[in-house]
Amino acid sequence: MAWRCSGSSNAALIDNMWRHGLITDPAVKAAFERVDRAHYAPVSPYDDSPQPIGHAATISAPHMHASALQHVLPFLLPSARRPAPRVLDVGSGSGYLTHVLAELVGERGLVVGLEHIRELRDLGEENMRKSEGGRTLLEGGRVKFRVGDGRLGLVEEARRGEEDGGTRWDVIHVGASAKEVHTQLLDQLKSPGCIFIPVDDDEVGYSQHIWRIEKDAAGKVTKHCLFGVRYVPLTDAPRGS
């Protein structure tokens, strides 16, 4: 029902995704409501469709972002066991999902947007600075943007006062289709932790599926194929970037 979810405003878009069951958790709904997609999508921001943002990248359709959050939510929200969730957003692009993630991890949480093209890294941060809420998250250190190869993950030191949490990630979201589930991402995932990642079904990447990968407290990894998708590839940065 994603095609029915477009709206004339940010509130209408989110309400439509809620009514059609694409958002089912009130915390996720509230997080989306606090982030205006108009700061991130260059045109028709309240259409439930992907849009190009330059450098052969796109901002995914809102219903895809909603699906990602719903599938990783148990590992994303702060709790007594997980007081400072750490999230890596690989292929952060426009910065939209990075911002929504930061609305969910709580005051002690950390979300890092990772891009292989510096101009896209800068775009994500610039977009976040368009709103007071985004500026507050950046200036408070809850959100950071980095340049790097997402296939290798990222080692990001814990924030001051949170060194006991280590450098691994509670959640890794990948916003581009990978040739495989890279070992580095699995190694950097906490126990327990969760990865949401599109993976190519064949060598040319024509067919892709979303995989939800969970690591339990003992380090056992389970993988579940969710649904077919069409994402841009997770690749090297273009030469000159």
The catalytic position among 60, 92, 94, 177 is 60
> What letter would DSSP give residue 229?
E
The gap from C-alpha 32 to its chain's centroid, in whole angstroms, comes to 13
Distance CA 117, CA 122 (A): 9
Please, is 220 exposed, middle or buried when counting C-beta atoms within 10 Å of its C-beta (0-12, 13-18, 19+)?
A: exposed
Q: Is 60 designated active site?
A: yes
Whole-number Cα distances in Å, 75 to 17, 123, 147? 22, 27, 25
Beta bridge partners of 87: 111, 171
Instruction: Check whether the bond before 50 is cis (ω within 30° of 0).
Output: no
> What letter would DSSP give residue 140?
T
Dihedral, CA of residue 142, residue 196, residue 148 and residue 192, to nearest 10: 60
In contact, 35 and 99? CB cutoff 8 Å? yes
Q: Which are the catalytic amino acids?
A: 60
